[in-house]
Amino acid sequence: MARDEVVWLGTREAARQLGITTRTLYRLIDGGDLPAYKFGRVIRLKQAEVDAFVERARITPGDLEHLYAGSDDED
């Protein structure tokens, strides 16, 4: 039985890929939004789970209407 190879990321690499600080990454991990694994003193994330997190964060068209609908900033 062949096992899929897991690609592991360090916290700095995962944060860089997401475009966030490591502090924000730790908040996402601690809040249960992003799975992570601790091996001794080292925290690692699976690339596939980071990719899945990005897909879950995708904005559906029309979800942001509340940010601009009826805005007083209209010209």
More confident residue, 21 or 66: 21
Task: Tell whether 50 is covered by a domain.
Answer: yes
pLDDT digits (tens, 9 = 90+) for 32-59: 999 999 999 999 999 999 999 999 999 9
Q: Does 61 map to a domain?
A: no
Which domain, by its residues, includes 51? 8-56
Structure tokens at 30: 């601690």
Any domain includes 46: yes
Q: Is residue 64 part of a domain?
A: no
Has residue 74 got a pLDDT over 60?
Answer: no
Nearest to 18 by CA among 9, 30, 31: 9
Asked if residue 72 is part of any domain, the answer here is no
How many independent structural domains does the chain possess? 1
> Residue 68 falls within a domain, yes or no?
no
CB 36 within 8 A of CB 42: no
- Please, which residues bridge with residue 46 across strands? 8
Percentage of the chain modeled with pLDDT above 90: 80
- The region that residue 37 occupies, defined by phi over 0 for left and psi between -120 and 50 for alpha, beta otherwise, is beta
**CA geometry: angle at 21 spanning 51 and 5, to 5°?**
30
